Amino acid sequence: MASRNSKKILLAFDFDHTIIDENSDLYVRKLAPNEHIPENISALFSNKGWTEYMGAIFKYLHSNGTTPSEIEACMHEIPLTDGMRELFDFLSKEHIEVIIISDSNSQFIKMILENFQIEHSVTEVFTNPANFDTAGCLQIEYHHFQDWCQLSTKNLCKGHILQQYRKKREQEGCQFASVFYVGDGSNDFCPTLRLSEQDYVLPRKGFQLLKKIRNYQPENNGKDAQVKAKVFDWDTGRDILKHLREVLENI
């Protein structure tokens, strides 16, 4: 493909309910005693950002004897979304650059990508940094602190990350022919608005991103805040692969 195409495709993925068919943050809660999180920890949850909530869960799991290896085994139970194996097999051979932008954490994503042996297909992962401390407790930090985007959580503006990555790659001499943004949730809407007419947004069927795109009223948000990208909804990785192949054939 490299000889036929002078420009690359950038494929930006969300992670939970996109590459994998679960929410990794929610899934790890099964390691809690009786799979129950105490009310004082649940009260920390906020749809404006739940990094503190997850940090408290990790401390609770550790205080109840959960080990790093048990967390890793739990992550290894999570399946890829249907068709993602075929999609990643294709990505490993094609002229496509892949990044992940996720509000999960670096340890969970690393564990899962390595479990399915697809980590080498991913150029870079943007997520909340996490590491096990010397006692074996998983510690999580904000990816960044942002106060400029009302569509995003305070710890992660996916649109800003995508925009900065494209700018960096342009400075390095890489001009993308198109960007494919693949996601499912409300926090995937900000990057959707930053795509151009030459780009593609692929919201998963049955999830919030597709609903937000369908219900969006640009006249209430200014002429620049529009969904300009072509929209293709998807159900399996094979649907994404089909759209990707069609675009590549026309470059």
pLDDT at residue number 153: 87
Show the low-confidence residues of the chain (pLDDT under 50): 1-5, 48
Strands (E), the chain: 8-13, 96-105, 124-128, 130-132, 138-140, 176-183, 200-203, 230-231
pLDDT at residue number 45: 81
Q: Are strands 96-105 and 176-183 parallel, antiparallel or unpaired?
A: unpaired
**Confidence (pTM):** 0.93
Structure token pair of residue 4 = 């036929």
> CA-CA distance, 203 to 234, in Å (whole number)?
6
Catalytic residues: 14, 16
Q: Which CATH superfamily is domain 8-22+80-128+144-249 in?
A: HAD superfamily/HAD-like (3.40.50.1000)
Q: What is the pLDDT of residues 81-101, one digit of tens each?
A: 999 999 999 998 888 999 999
> CA-CA distance, 213 to 204, in Å (whole number)?
11
pLDDT at residue number 4: 43
Question: Residue ranges per domain, the chain?
Answer: 8-22+80-128+144-249
